[in-house]
Chains A and B, each alone.
Chain A
Amino acid sequence: MDISRRQLAGVILAGTVVGQSAAQAPAQAPPPSADAQLEGARSERRIAAQIIARVPLPMTVEPAFQFKA
């Protein structure tokens, strides 16, 4: 998977915690602990879910995958 600052900044609508936290982080902040990293990743997942949940989705829409017999 490719990801870059431009994708992070330009693709995910309404911005993400990732972009915001990068912009707000102190210049010389120590690296976050593993627990903090994990909580950050979970937070990003939650925000992605919230962004997706804003899309109106009729009950008739099925998932976009196909199974072949």
Chain B
Amino acid sequence: MAEIAPDIFFASISELNAKLRAKEFSCRELTKAFCDRIERIGPRYNALVLSLRKQAMSKAKDVDRELKRDRTRGPLQGIPYGVKDLLAVKKQPTTWGAKPYATQVFDYDAHIIERLNKVGAILIAKLSMVELAGGGDYRTAAASLTGPGLNPWDRTRWSGGSSSGPGAAVAAGLVSFAIGSETSGSILTPSAFCGLTGLRPTYGLVSRHGAMALSWTLDKLGPMCRSAEDCALVLHEIAGVDSDDPGSAGRSFNYTPQYTLRRLSEITIGYMPVDFQDGAEPSAQAAFRAAFDVIKSLGVKLKEIQLPELPYGALVGTIIAGEAGSIFEEFIRSGKVDQLADPHQIAGLKAMLDLPSTEYLRAMRVRSLVKAAFHDLFLNCDMILAPTRLGPANKVAEPLDTPGPPTKSRGGMIPGGNLAGLPAISLPCGFADGLPVAISLLGRPFYENQLIAIGNLFQKQTDWHRRRPPVEA
């Protein structure tokens, strides 16, 4: 039996796949080691909902058989991963992070899991999340069936929401990568707080069939990984047409690093100066300034821009209220909503039923202005650079709306980018108060290759994405 060295739990997808193909260890040995680790360490961060060891080991046996015959299925073959527990896994509980759904079971796999199955990836666990992806406007980190998501860098801090488990599990080396979801910030925020590289794809690029719906016009699924390269490898396999997802864009994604970038001097990256001067929380400003300098050193053009003053947060809240209110109407009226953990979330869901249709439609019409505004911004630049969050992770013990250090930056890139359906990648860029912080690149629709290419270049110049939290074996 080959011993799995601790470094392996933090290896890239390409490194793991190469070692499997070189028979340095078998897929069964690798899968067992990851299952042992997530079962032992996952509860420490409230990251694990369900270990899928039995089916994972069976699948690993199949992969070993294939590798023995040199039958390869691509870079994800044999790679252990986890999914946020809003994705259906056949005949397994799918809790949506919420007590009223604790025993819910579907008889099919989510489309994204089918795709990953086909390329030989090994699903080892379902990972924790904020209840109902936080659609009712939660105010505590504890708004989850599994308790507050704890950050592997500091367990007194939150791992972020609503993809709390994927954030903590990838950071702690409990899975090689994870699938999260984002309605407005739920991939990018845990990625930033936990020191991961997270990619929010363009709306419609990845099928959501089999995922809990929170907002039909905002929901996206995407990879949370150790690097931009890993995000690309996962996105390559999960993106594509699906007739079962009415929002499917009918597009696929081919990772083509060799053809993606024209000369760097011809790439223009927009930014708001205040974000990289004194706009962020004081403890994070140095990291953002240094990251800006690294981006500048790549040889790209940098151009000052201004994000239009539009009520991004209010728009996201109103659109989610209109759509989630309809999706969860029966759940709310039945009284089951009262079993949720966060009283603010309960009230938020109930209040959704009072939303006038005119307010929802007005929000969707103003959303058209947001899309137009971003379209105009991208006439003058190829992508936009901003801090992912303006500071490090919140304290678990404090309400999430506790006023933080004052900031001059207005934020807006997360809700604005989500309203416009745009792709974004979050890249770790340093530390503040001992916790990771990150920058994001936001691009035009279906511009993932370009974002990943700049992300790759940034990560060749820095090693923040390789830093590991102090996880004991």
Chain A residues whose C-beta falls within 8 Å of the C-beta of B367 in the assembled complex: 63-64
Most A C-beta atoms less than 10 A away, residue of B183, B354, B365, B367: B365
A22 and B365 form a contact (CB under 8 A): no
The residues in B between 305 and 334 inclusive whose CB is less than 8 angstroms from any CB of A are: 309-318, 320-321
Task: Tell me the bound Cα distance from A7 to B364 in angstroms.
Answer: 20
A34 and B217 form a contact (CB under 8 A): no
B321 and A45 form a contact (CB under 8 A): yes
Task: Tell me the bound Cα distance from A55 to B314 in angstroms.
Answer: 12
B403 and A64 form a contact (CB under 8 A): no
A6 and B313 form a contact (CB under 8 A): no
B366 and A57 form a contact (CB under 8 A): yes
Chain A residues whose C-beta falls within 8 Å of the C-beta of B311 in the assembled complex: 12-13, 48, 51-52, 54-55
A1 and B314 form a contact (CB under 8 A): no
Task: Tell me the bound Cα distance from A5 to B400 in angstroms.
Answer: 5
Task: Tell me the bound Cα distance from A29 to B246 in angstroms.
Answer: 47
Closest to B184 in A: A1
A7 and B343 form a contact (CB under 8 A): no
State whether the Cβ of B355 lies closer than 8 Å to any Cβ in chain A. Answer: yes
B365 and A5 form a contact (CB under 8 A): no
Task: Tell me the bound Cα distance from A46 to B337 in angstroms.
Answer: 22
Give the contacting residue for B186; candidates A1, A6, A42, A45; CB below 8 A.
A1
State whether the Cβ of B359 lies closer than 8 Å to any Cβ in chain A. Answer: yes
The residues in A between 1 and 35 inclusive whose CB is less than 8 angstroms from any CB of B are: 1-13, 18-19, 22-23, 31-32, 34
Task: Tell me the bound Cα distance from A11 to B189 in angstroms.
Answer: 15
Query: Interface 1/0s, chain B 338-373, versus A by CB < 8 A?
Result: 000001101110111011000101111111111100
Task: Tell me the bound Cα distance from A51 to B315 in angstroms.
Answer: 9
A60 vs chain B, min Cβ distance (A): 10
B363 and A52 form a contact (CB under 8 A): yes
A12 vs chain B, min Cβ distance (A): 4
Task: Tell me the bound Cα distance from A15 to B415 in angstroms.
Answer: 16
Chain A residues whose C-beta falls within 8 Å of the C-beta of B186 in the assembled complex: 1-2
Most B C-beta atoms less than 10 A away, residue of A6, A31, A37, A48: A6
A11 and B313 form a contact (CB under 8 A): yes
Closest to A36 in B: B347
A65 vs chain B, min Cβ distance (A): 5
B346 and A34 form a contact (CB under 8 A): yes
Q: How many residues of B contact A (CB 8 A)?
A: 73
Chain A residues whose C-beta falls within 8 Å of the C-beta of B355 in the assembled complex: 45
A44 vs chain B, min Cβ distance (A): 7
Interface segment out of the listed B20-28, B131-139, B226-234: B131-139
A1 and B134 form a contact (CB under 8 A): yes
Given known A5-B402, A57-B369, contact A10–B343 (CB-CB < 8 A): no
State whether the Cβ of B407 lies closer than 8 Å to any Cβ in chain A. Answer: yes
Task: Tell me the bound Cα distance from A2 to B415 in angstroms.
Answer: 9
The residues in B between 96 and 120 inclusive whose CB is less than 8 angstroms from any CB of A are: none
Give the contacting residue for A52; candidates B133, B189, B318, B352; CB below 8 A.
B318
State whether the Cβ of B93 lies closer than 8 Å to any Cβ in chain A. Answer: no
Give the contacting residue for A68; candidates B246, B365, B390; CB below 8 A.
B246
State whether the Cβ of B410 lies closer than 8 Å to any Cβ in chain A. Answer: yes
Closest to B250 in A: A68
A55 and B400 form a contact (CB under 8 A): no
B347 and A4 form a contact (CB under 8 A): no
B409 and A10 form a contact (CB under 8 A): yes
A23 and B351 form a contact (CB under 8 A): no
Give the contacting residue for B364; candidates A10, A40, A47, A63; CB below 8 A.
A63
Given known A34-B347, A65-B217, contact A6–B368 (CB-CB < 8 A): no
A3 and B137 form a contact (CB under 8 A): yes
Chain B residues whose C-beta falls within 8 Å of the C-beta of A41 in the assembled complex: 137, 344, 347-348, 350-351
Most A C-beta atoms less than 10 A away, residue of B321, B400, B410, B414: B400
Task: Tell me the bound Cα distance from A65 to B323 in angstroms.
Answer: 12
Task: Tell me the bound Cα distance from A31 to B186 in angstroms.
Answer: 27
Chain B residues whose C-beta falls within 8 Å of the C-beta of A32 in the assembled complex: 343
Give the contacting residue for A42; candidates B215, B351, B369; CB below 8 A.
B351
A37 and B344 form a contact (CB under 8 A): yes
Chain A residues whose C-beta falls within 8 Å of the C-beta of B189 in the assembled complex: 2, 4
A65 and B364 form a contact (CB under 8 A): yes
State whether the Cβ of B391 lies closer than 8 Å to any Cβ in chain A. Answer: yes
Task: Tell me the bound Cα distance from A49 to B318 in angstroms.
Answer: 8
B390 and A6 form a contact (CB under 8 A): yes
A-B contact pairs, 17 of them (CB 8 A): A1-B184, A1-B215, A2-B134, A2-B184, A2-B190, A6-B411, A11-B414, A12-B313, A13-B311, A19-B403, A41-B347, A44-B348, A45-B318, A45-B355, A49-B314, A52-B363, A61-B368
Q: Give A contacts to B, CB under 8 Å.
A: 1-13, 18-19, 22-23, 31-32, 34, 37-38, 40-42, 44-45, 47-49, 51-55, 57, 61-65, 68
Name 13 extra pairs, CB < 8 A, besides A3-B138, A45-B321.
Answer: A3-B137, A3-B161, A4-B401, A10-B407, A11-B312, A11-B411, A41-B347, A48-B314, A49-B318, A52-B318, A61-B365, A64-B367, A68-B246
